[in-house]
Chains A and B, each alone.
Chain A
Amino acid sequence: MSTVLDRAGKPKEKSTPASGTSRYVLVVAGLALALALAGIASLALGSVRIPPGQVLDALTGRAAPSPYRTIVLDVRLPRVLLGVVVGAGLAVVGAVLQALVNNRLADPFLLGISSGASAGAVLVLVLGVGGGVTTTIALPGGAFAGALLALVLVYGLARRGGTMTGVRLVLAGVAVSYVLSALATLLLVVAGRPEQFQEALYWSLGGLGSARWDTLALPAAVLVLGVGALLTLARPLDLLLVGEEGATVLGLDTARFRAAVFVLASLVTAVMVAASGAVGFIGLMAPHAARLAVGAPHRRLLPVAALGGALGLVLADLAARTVAAPQDIPVGVLTALIGGPFFLWLMRRRPEGAPL
């Protein structure tokens, strides 16, 4: 009678799942190679230029102790690795937030989560909680509380009657972000710690300059665990892409799932911000580029977004250290310079019918 009723209708030959897979492998391998090259370039370039041969010798342990070896292994390598970790973490969180609020304009920085995290970190700093070794825990802890608070606030403000537009979301994020930044500044003034303005400014701008081997462990561990956990949630994250109602009728308890992933996203963001300050727009740009390359399903998207974010931040930091050398520009300034216009471009070329 018709194609629809043709029960014998055989499935057409599977449309090249093989070529899809090999394309994916190609994208991942290409990004990994680019990341390795960018990393080696970052180790070689800077205020002191080191020949690539000596960089490799230092990395492979063949170099005799020398100033070059110290610069490569103790100064630049932790910084590059922190860039990898923070870039990957922010990109994955960005991708996940975009699914959670079903809006591609979401980013940990734009939604005020990063500001919440830096406000929390400043609070810990001013109160002098912990001190010494415990600072490595107290600071991210404060950042986590601030990040979660900001995310819950923004989500609550942006959502009304079950709908949430991009405009409302971004406005709420900007407003909450300003309030929390102002609060952090106020705290510093009231506490009479103007000397810590420098540190607070650093958090609000974002930079990798404080990278040391001993501050790298926590972000790296959180990245591996957080991204691992989010990867197992690829299926429910995909369900959110078809909207609240669609996800519910496909069996997802959306309220519970959102709450759980909010906590996870806040945790990853907070640890990244505690280590590097509020670096913006990586979480916006990397997932977008990754979607163009491998599509929206999260099982494929998240690893590519992570690699892309790592590559982006390592390159941005390389530029930040070399463009005005020996000046070290906060890398957040550079990502904002690129990311701001990108955000506007993304806003303008929205698919027809998509709610702004």
Chain B
Amino acid sequence: MTELRLHGLSYGSRLRSADLTVRAGETVGLIGPNGSGKTTLLRCVYGTLTATAGRATLDGDDLHALGPKARARRVATVPQDSGTEFELTVRELVALGRSPHKRFWEGDTGADRDRVEAALARVGLAELADRPFPTLSGGERQRALVARALVQDPALLVLDEPTNHLDIRHQLDVLALVRTLGTTNLLALHDLNLAGAYCDRLYVMVEGRVVTGGTPAEVLTPALLTAVYGVDAEVIPHPRTGSPTVVYLHSPVGGHKLSTM
């Protein structure tokens, strides 16, 4: 089991001295308004940005010092989908997830192919395995990228808005799936109710800083929602699961149309 710790992790003015811990096996959510630095923090963890100060350690190993390949064996992510120019099939795309475990000249073995098929089945894409990746819908692409992260066999899963583009059923499925993997998970989430339902703990980011953290019940309070997001909301226990559930009050003056879910 793997523990992630951030010590004063910074990236220019976009991320200011973030401290945060994801304990072994935990699923931790990162919430906060757009532009609050969630994506920057995650990128510094999975390595496409190099922090300007501070450290991110995985079981004590500095993630930056590990180098891309060793890091990719332990940390997987689902990058925000960037359209690709070339038509890999879904199966080919998912198979790329085995790369960190291979020498660069090695091909895939039968065991690798079995893993790929299992991951495709697990995200419900077995039927579409031979389709060109660019022809999938946004939600299907997201699930294919999750399957790729699965075959990477990581200890830490870092996900930036994994529910983007997904309809509600697949949102719930992906988050439930993440929780069953046995990995340590750090996710940025927009949807506060999903964050409250699927995360063990939440951290809140505002203007590049991690301002508070705790269990969903501790973090998701009307006072915090007003302070951080500038909205009026009630937080009530979910009638069946008891997880804290945010119910927004439509602002009578502001032009924003807020969802009541």
Which positions in A face B, CB cutoff 8 Å?
Answer: 1-7, 9-12, 14-15, 98-99, 102-104, 232-236, 238-239, 241-246, 248-253, 291, 295-297, 299, 351, 353-355
Cβ-defined contact, B96 with A249, below 8 A: no
Cβ-defined contact, A253 with B67, below 8 A: yes
Q: Does B176 contact A (CB under 8 A)?
A: yes
The winner among A6, A233, A297 for most chain B CB atoms within 10 A is A297
In the assembled complex, the CB of B182 is this many whole angstroms from the nearest CB of chain A, namely 12
Cβ-defined contact, B121 with A15, below 8 A: no
Cβ-defined contact, A249 with B77, below 8 A: yes
Q: Does B238 contact A (CB under 8 A)?
A: no
Q: Does B54 contact A (CB under 8 A)?
A: no
Select one of A14, A232, A236, A249 contacting B46, CB under 8 A: A249
With A and B bound together, what is the CA distance between A1 and B122 in angstroms? 12
* Residues 35-76 of B at the A interface (beta carbon under 8 Å): 46-48, 67-73, 75-76
* A354 cross-chain contacts in B, Cβ below 8 A: 83-85, 134
With A and B bound together, what is the CA distance between A9 and B83 in angstroms? 29
Take A9-B126, A233-B104, A355-B83 as given contacts and tell me if A297 and B99 are in contact as well, using a CB distance cutoff of 8 Å.
no
With A and B bound together, what is the CA distance between A243 and B82 in angstroms? 7
Residues of B within 8 A of A (CB-CB), count: 57
Cβ-defined contact, A297 with B169, below 8 A: no
With A and B bound together, what is the CA distance between A203 and B100 in angstroms? 43
With A and B bound together, what is the CA distance between A98 and B47 in angstroms? 25
Take A7-B122, A15-B130, A297-B92 as given contacts and tell me if A253 and B69 are in contact as well, using a CB distance cutoff of 8 Å.
yes
* Residues 184-205 of B at the A interface (beta carbon under 8 Å): none
With A and B bound together, what is the CA distance between A355 and B83 in angstroms? 8
* B77 cross-chain contacts in A, Cβ below 8 A: 249
In the assembled complex, the CB of A354 is this many whole angstroms from the nearest CB of chain B, namely 5
The winner among A4, A244, A245, A354 for most chain B CB atoms within 10 A is A4
Cβ-defined contact, B86 with A296, below 8 A: yes
* B124 cross-chain contacts in A, Cβ below 8 A: 2-4, 9
Take A15-B130, A249-B48, A249-B72 as given contacts and tell me if A4 and B83 are in contact as well, using a CB distance cutoff of 8 Å.
no
Select one of B88, B106, B121, B170 contacting A297, CB under 8 A: B88
Cβ-defined contact, A250 with B99, below 8 A: yes
Cβ-defined contact, B73 with A353, below 8 A: no
User: Which residue of chain B lies nearest to A257 when distances are taken between CB atoms in the complex?
Assistant: B104
In the assembled complex, the CB of B33 is this many whole angstroms from the nearest CB of chain A, namely 23
* A10 cross-chain contacts in B, Cβ below 8 A: 121
With A and B bound together, what is the CA distance between A354 and B122 in angstroms? 29
In the assembled complex, the CB of A77 is this many whole angstroms from the nearest CB of chain B, namely 34
* B180 cross-chain contacts in A, Cβ below 8 A: 5, 7
CB pairs A–B below 8 angstroms (8 shown) = A9-B122, A11-B120, A243-B82, A246-B82, A248-B68, A252-B69, A295-B87, A355-B83
In the assembled complex, the CB of A13 is this many whole angstroms from the nearest CB of chain B, namely 9
Q: Interface majority SS on A: helix, strand, loop or mixed?
A: loop
User: Which residue of chain A lies nearest to B105 when distances are taken between CB atoms in the complex?
Assistant: A232
In the assembled complex, the CB of A286 is this many whole angstroms from the nearest CB of chain B, namely 15
In the assembled complex, the CB of A122 is this many whole angstroms from the nearest CB of chain B, namely 34
With A and B bound together, what is the CA distance between A297 and B123 in angstroms? 23
Cβ-defined contact, B83 with A250, below 8 A: no
Cβ-defined contact, B105 with A12, below 8 A: no
User: Which residue of chain A lies nearest to B130 when distances are taken between CB atoms in the complex?
Assistant: A15
The winner among B46, B72, B79, B102 for most chain A CB atoms within 10 A is B79
Cβ-defined contact, B69 with A4, below 8 A: no
Cβ-defined contact, A235 with B129, below 8 A: no
Select one of A291, A299, A353 contacting B134, CB under 8 A: A353
With A and B bound together, what is the CA distance between A346 and B70 in angstroms? 39
* Residues 159-196 of B at the A interface (beta carbon under 8 Å): 169-170, 173-174, 176-177, 180
Q: Does B114 contact A (CB under 8 A)?
A: yes
* B79 cross-chain contacts in A, Cβ below 8 A: 243, 245-246, 249
The winner among B92, B104, B107, B117 for most chain A CB atoms within 10 A is B104
The winner among B47, B76, B86, B176 for most chain A CB atoms within 10 A is B86
Q: Does B244 contact A (CB under 8 A)?
A: no
In the assembled complex, the CB of A232 is this many whole angstroms from the nearest CB of chain B, namely 4
Cβ-defined contact, B122 with A6, below 8 A: yes
Take A233-B104, A249-B79, A296-B86 as given contacts and tell me if A12 and B68 are in contact as well, using a CB distance cutoff of 8 Å.
no
Select one of B69, B87, B106, B123 contacting A291, CB under 8 A: B87
Cβ-defined contact, A238 with B122, below 8 A: no
User: Which residue of chain B lies nearest to A233 when distances are taken between CB atoms in the complex?
Assistant: B104
In the assembled complex, the CB of A337 is this many whole angstroms from the nearest CB of chain B, namely 26
Q: Does B228 contact A (CB under 8 A)?
A: no
Select one of A5, A232, A233, A299 contacting B177, CB under 8 A: A5
Q: Does B97 contact A (CB under 8 A)?
A: yes
